Structure 1
Amino acid sequence: MPLRPRYGDLLLIVLLLLPLVVALPRLGGLGGPPELWLTWVGRVTGILGLAMMLLAAAVSIRLPGTDRWFGGLARLWRLHHWLGFGAFILVMVHALALGLAAVPTSLEAAVATLFPPPAQGAIWLGWLAWLAMVIFLAPTFDFFGQPHYQRWKRLHLVSAAALLLGLWHAFLLAGETALWWLLGIAGLGAIVWRKLVSPRVSRHPYRVEAVEPLARGVVELVLRPEGDGIRYETGQFVYLTPLDERLAAGRGEEHPYTIASAPSDSRLRIGIKDLGDASHALQTVTPGSRVLIEGPYGEFFGRRFPERDMLWLGGGIGITPFVGGARGLASGASAEGHVHLFYLANGPDRAYYQEELERIAEAEAAFAFTQHYSRERGRLDEAFLREHCPDFTEREIYVCGPPAMNAYLQRLLAGQGIPASRIHSEVFDFL
């Protein structure tokens, strides 16, 4: 997907720089001896680091619809990740620069600057905030391996302690505190909403009406709303929390799943592949049991250019947004041009929705469907695309599937001269 700024990005930049702009008149300049500009660097990085910490928390609020300001929830989570990582680096530079600034005086002065007597509590609050950051960020570093999803989410509660300690540190040392109050309320308020309020007020109750097997290790849940249910668009996804007491794993845990039903469908349909403990348990969830749905999120088809026909490339459980799109066409939704779906699977036994998609293609002139089986033909290549969809390089292209498949298709399409602005992809590789 092309990297381009969104309205939400601009808002983050303004909020990030605002505390620095307010503080700059008191920070002096970069001129003078090294200890002066090192002090300036230390203060600037401290201000930016704390602002990044607070904004990383603020964007985790996950209000349905607001993720679209940032290009969808998957992109917003990446921004959240990089804001947190950037804050950690800046806080380290902050401490290092202030310590080095005192070195020309003496080594003892440098040590005392970083580790003063206990009476200077403001500095020690900063160190405690840094320690809390280490605790909740460490599991995300690659050398620890992939963190356990639910433990990682619970560990993020430590981030609230880091924010509180960091704000306390700033309140004691900063001249202006109004902006820190504003950012503090945004960051801590988001955590309170996400962890305490949202689970009680923003989740919609549904009942499991049916569990329809599609293939080995793949089912589609048919969910009936207990109230009005959610309103959604094709290609969006939700967080599903099962409450079935018979589940071997995942009860009460939320996980993201793409919606496979048409927006006009009175039932919510979600395809689930056995990819972990929670999704494995959902293969045998009890019909009639309750689930909670939060969302919708995402804007997979939100960057549609009506003047172009579309090419959809789906594989694995990544076929589900395209199934929802095809079902939408079958239910009377406007195609706004021609759609050609390529279903990439290992073989017919792993093409979960094949028969239904074939029926829709036969009935809808605006929808074409082509199967590609890697066991028979190897990887999808330019020749196969050209044979079945001669104008594929002129279309708006949407890709969804496993990360390795997405990466390969991105390279294949880019090699045909297709600009990145016309290639839209979605990969659920975030936590």
Structure 2
Amino acid sequence: MTWLWPAIFWAGAVAALAPWAFNSAAGFASAPLLGMAKIAGLIAGYLVAVQLILMSRVLETQLIAVWHRRLGGAVFAFITAHIVFSTVGHAAGRSLGAQTLTFIYDYPWLLAAYVGTALIVMIGLTSIRAFKRRMRYETWYYLHLYAYLGTALAFAHTVTISTDIVGAAKAFWIALYGTAVALAVWRRIIRPGRLAVRHGFRVSQVVQETPDVTSIHIGGRRMQEFQIRPGQFLWLRFLTRDGWGQAHPFSLSAAPDGHSLRVTVKALGDHTRGLQDVRVGTRVIVEGPYGSFTTRHGKTVLMIAAGIGITPIRALMEEMPPGTVVIYRARSEKEVVFREELDTLARTRNARMVYVLDEDVRTPSSDGTGGDGRGLPDALTAPGLTRLTPGIEERDVFLCGPPGLVRRVGAELRKAGVRDRHVHLDPFEL
């Protein structure tokens, strides 16, 4: 059913443009700039609604990450085109500044639309990797919530000014945005609230794995009824004085046992550092589960993890078939998490465990890391992967780690003959 969501997306795009096609297309030749402004505005409005639906996390997680990132640039481009073509098309010899003031003073909801557009553009800019890497996650998270305000301000002018959006077309747009809001409320507020009432999630145990990695066990009532699979993740909101206002995604680091859930957190930012000292008994709001980074039966498996990306891999190992190969990259022995658990699982599941430690590299390349000269050790290059993993081209591959490494190793897997449909990614990037 991989065709279903793209089909729905394109059907929605046709429905969004249909009002212009029926009402205004005939006048395009006489006023092409205004025609392009209308088209760009309708497409931008539709894409913003799709982005809101994606933010409600109703789709499989990998689709969300890919679509959300790709559509972000398109939203920015079409919004810009709509503003430029509208201003130039209406100016008719006047200055663009004068026409902008006319829009603000004489058109209903235009000032709100400008403010909403500025918020949406700000969110888009802060989502670019180069900017996002320089921001605290907490800052980025709160800025992203302004997407709802920006959309509300921009939507008001869409249904009040456009001469094309009337009758059935207006009903379509109201239903589209109403669906986006309803999904967000259901997935982010109502469902987590129901889970909290039903299960009463609380921190039941805190275990220090390494100096900067902590496992948090979450218990509650009727835990055997909470359905989640190894490889999936949850958005968790720990109700501490400093952490109650934000939710973060965490993968299970052990298969659910019907009594508690275990997540493992590395201190990478203010919030995750604070969780190193979270108290037993702290209430937790749970949203999810999410993700399709789960086992596929009937195939042999290769699993590759880097750093804290070992967490979902560790959980998946409890379900993997005999003959599984697990490659775990870490900077040093002291940064290896779950060493004893991983070795035990490898023995009991008849799996092969390969540790790739940067400190053990014996044949450094020009960049001092060994391997291919781009920071990849030999074990993660195409020849190394092929040598370590018999029949690699026929295996399902589970790959989890920092986004940059995931992209590079993914390219090496393709060189090794692994088809894209057999590669399952969890790049720790939402």
| Shorter-normalised TM range | 0.7 to 0.9
The Cα offsets for residues 45-102 of structure 1, whole Å up to 9 and x where unpaired, read as 111111111221122223xxx322xxx2x43144234434422321221122233334
Displacement after TM superposition at 1:124 (Å):
4.0
Q: Distance in 2 between matches of 1:123 and 1:223?
A: 48
Shift of 1:179: 0.9
Q: After the TM superposition, which residues 106-255 of structure 1 pair with which residues of structure 2 at under 5 Å, given as runs?
A: 106-107=93-94, 111-112=98-99, 115-116=102-103, 118-141=105-128, 144=131, 146-172=134-160, 173=162, 174-175=165-166, 176-193=169-186, 197-198=190-191, 200-203=193-196, 205-228=200-223, 230-244=226-240, 249-255=242-248
The residue that corresponds to 1:274 in the other structure is 267
Q: Is the 8 A contact 1:241 1:255 kept in 2?
A: yes
- In structure 2, do the counterparts of structure 1 residues 260 and 83 end up closer, same or farther at CA, with 3 Å as the change threshold? same
2:314 aligned residue: 323
- Matching of residue 86 in structure 1 with residue 88 in structure 2: no
* C-alpha deviation, 1:117, in angstroms: 7.1
Is 2:302–2:324's contact at 8 Å kept on the other side of the alignment? yes
* In 1, Cα distance between equivalents of 2:96 and 2:332: 70
**Residue 8 of structure 2 corresponds to residue 16 of structure 1:** no
Contact 1:235 1:298 (8 Å CA) reproduced: yes
If asked which structure has higher relative contact order (CA below 8 Å, sep 6+), I would say 1
Distance 2:228 2:86 in 1: 51
Q: Distance in 2 between matches of 1:373 and 1:153?
A: 33
Distance across 2 between alignment mates of 1:22 and 1:403: 41
Query: For residues 25 and 386 of structure 1, do their structure 2 counterparts lie closer, same or farther at Cα, with a shift above 3 Å needed?
Result: closer
State whether residues 210 and 223 of structure 1, in contact with CA within 8 Å, keep that contact through their aligned partners in structure 2.
yes
Query: 1:80 and 1:369 mapped to 2: Cα distance?
Result: 35
Tell me the TM-score normalised to structure 2 length: 0.83
- For this pair of structures, how many residues does the alignment match? 405
- Give the alignment of 1:51-66 within 5 angstroms: 51-62=46-57, 66=58
One-letter code aligned to 2:93 = S
What residue in structure 1 maps to residue 34 of structure 2?
Answer: 39
Does the C-alpha gap of structure 1 residues 184 and 25 become closer, same or farther in structure 2, counting only changes over 3 Å? Answer: same
Which residue does 1:67 correspond to in 2? 59
TM-score, normalized by length of structure 1? Answer: 0.83
* Runs (5+) with no aligned partner, structure 1: 330-334
Report the CA distance shift for 1:129/1:215 in structure 2 as closer, same or farther (over 3 A): closer
1:86 maps to amino acid? A
Question: 1:146-203 CA distances to partner (integer Å, 9 max, x unpaired)?
Answer: 3333333333443333333333212222333111111121233344446654553344
Using the alignment, how far apart are the partners of 2:349 and 2:104 within structure 1?
76
Check the 8 A contact 2:400/2:426 in 1, yes or no: yes
Contact 1:210 1:287 in 2 (8 A): yes
User: CA separation in 1, counterparts of 2:405 and 2:262?
Assistant: 24
| Matched AA of 2:153 | L
1:285 counterpart letter in structure 2: V
Match of 1:97 in 2: 85
The change in CA–CA distance for 1:141 and 1:421 in structure 2 (over 3 A counts) is: closer
Q: Provide the C-alpha distance between the structure 1 equivalents of 2:348 and 2:269, rounded to a whole number of angstroms.
A: 37
Q: Which of 187-196 and 344-353 deviates more?
A: 187-196
State the Cα distance separating 1:308 from its structure 2 match: 2.9
Does structure 1 retain, via aligned residues, the 8 Å contact 2:104–2:111? no
Distance 1:164 1:251 in 2: 25
- Residue deviations 1:253-279, cap 9 Å, x none? 311111012244532111211111121
Describe how 1:279-318 pairs up with structure 2 within 5 A.
279-301=272-294, 304=296, 306-318=297-309
5+ long unaligned stretches in structure 2? 362-369, 371-376
Match of 2:330 in 1: 345
- Which position in structure 1 is the counterpart of 2:392? 392
